[in-house]
A = this chain, B = another copy of it.
Amino acid sequence: MEIIALREAPVALGDLERSVMDLLWDQPGAHTANDVRDALAGDLAVTTVLTVLSRLEKKGLVRRDGGRRPHRYAAASSREDHTVGLLNEVLGSVPDREAVLARFIGGIGPDEAAAVRRLLES
């Protein structure tokens, strides 16, 4: 069985893209472009929102249901999974993951350290 390295495109988000994703993550479920526009701060054109949603779809962050007419958009994966992907991407760029983890662990607060310890035990 061959393992195909699925190229995870460098998923860097712009400010507006980020806002849209935050919205989709905070309010799970399917949204229309108009929904999204109304929920966003500022007074954007719907086409702007649609453009951004398309780009996010191309990046694999948003899934679209184009069944009937007001198309519905939703986050393709949870915010947590997406963020973990980013973390691993960052960690994948260094030769010594553990050295980085060492510094990272050394820098977190005691409460968070406790949480991590708990997670490791289970």
Contacts and interface: CB of A to CB of B under 8 A. Distances in A.
Contacts of A81: 103
Contact of A101 (B18, B90, B116): B116
B112 A116 contact: no
A42 interface: no
Interface in A101-122: 101-107, 112-113, 115-117, 119-120
Nearest to A114: B120
Interface string A48-89: 000000000000000000000000000000011101101110
11 contacts: A18-B93, A79-B100, A80-B99, A80-B102, A84-B100, A84-B103, A86-B90, A87-B87, A106-B119, A116-B116, A117-B120
Interface of A: 12, 18, 79-81, 83-84, 86-88, 90-91, 93-94, 96-107, 112-113, 115-117, 119-120
